Amino acid sequence: MNRDKRSLLFVLLAICGAILPMIGQAQEEATPAGPPLALISTVKGTIGPATSRQIGEAIAVAEERNADVLVLRIDTPGGLVTSTRDIVSDILASDVPVAGYVWPGGGHAASAGTYIIYATGIAAMAPGTNLGAATPVSMGGMPGSPQQPGKSSGSGDGEDGKAVPSNEEALSKKATNDAVALIRSLAETHGRNAEWAEEAVREGVSLGAKEAQGTGVIEIVARDLDDLLAQMDGREVVAGTSMKTLRTADARIEHVEPGFMTELLAVIGNPNVAFLLMMIGVYGIIFELSNPGSFGPGILGAICLLLGLYALNQLPLDYAGVALIVLGLVLMAVEAFTPTFGVAGFGGLVSFVFGAAMLIDSDNPEFQISWVTIAGTAAASAALLIFLIGYTLRAMRRPVATGAEELEGAEARVLEWANGEGYVHIHGERWRARGPAELAPQSTVRVERMDGLTLVVS
């Protein structure tokens, strides 16, 4: 009887084990999955350290939330090569599919923006936008630009009669070839038009949305985000090291806003702002050192100096410019503490102007310190130097206020006197004095000189 019960129990358990997975599977099939999640990050303005940080944070958020796609809405004139490389690396390493969308109408993805679009798994544009002009800018002009007929671009002729390229042209050629290799590699990764990409780098050509789609540069032309997500649905894209099928139809849209540090870096990352912060910091510290105990200028100066140095550290610096600025500030500080009648001060001012002009190693106008900023800081420094020199000259002409020299010629009042000696009162003090034999108390005398601790009066 017990054996029959045990057998029945085993049979029931086996039936339950077979039925429960089927029930769970049926419930999974019956319960629809949640709507897809599409995160949006808007990139506007020049590509720089703040943009690189913004996109890196957006990709991290998308991976953390297991988003179905991250859409980068782009409108940029270009930017720094180093920041562009960082962004491309982050996009290629992302496990979440990344789409690039040139938006809004009238916007563009020029220069650095073209590389970013080519790095994304899905490339899209809004009507009325354009991309291209991806030639890297270097010192001396646009590398790869055609020469005028009959004119050699070389610096001289070699033994075989051929033009020998200058060092500047050689560097430009290297930068162009490196950029071509990068954008062709990105085009091949996502199956896009590599020939046009190379032409965009070498010749600086651009394309509108429809033409870009027709030549295989982008995949989608979309009016808005909803249209873009609808057209992306079901496409296979490269995401990290694998292929993924996009599930974006009726996706829930959420925007990823830049963090506080990213917004701060976007403000102080402007070379003019960073430079002014550094100057405020330096002058605040100099004022604190010349007036110990005031605290306020020193604290404000230290904060501004650290913020300015942090921002400048994110930018491509020319270290010769940094050295000239430091030398200029040191010479101006020397003028402030040990006056040299303008020799050190104005030498430091000249060094400072040259250093500021060559501080940022980039031909991108957005990352150059403007001449207005340089002229303003130089004028402020010159005004400070003129004030210091004038103060020094006035101090030298001012009568001596302490010591024996200050007492000579001063008037004193006789307190006690007998036989050519006695005591006089001067500057609130009682002094021993000698002089004429007969002087009456309360009479006024003039100090001629000091003899030790005795005043000689007349």
pTM greater than 0.85 (yes/no)? no
Question: CA 321 → CA 42, 328, 351, 354, 366, distances in Å?
Answer: 34, 10, 9, 7, 18
CA 342 to chain centre: 34
Q: Return the residue matching tokens 């990764």.
A: 189
Give strand pairing partners of 243: 238
Looking at mean pLDDT, say which of 148-162, 165-179, 282-296, 329-343 comes out highest.
Answer: 165-179
Q: Which of 123-132, 169-178, 381-390 has maximum average pLDDT? A: 123-132
Residue 161 has pLDDT above 60, yes or no: no
For residue 433, give the amino acid letter: A
**Residue 411: count of CB within 10 angstroms of its CB:** 11
Determine contact, residues 149/114, Cβ cutoff 8 Å: no
For 166, the token pair is 């200058």
Summarised one tens digit per residue, pLDDT across range 45-93 is 999 999 999 999 999 999 999 999 999 999 999 999 999 999 999 999 9
Would the pLDDT of 194 be above 90? yes
pLDDT tens, 204-243? 999 999 999 999 999 999 999 999 999 999 999 999 989 9
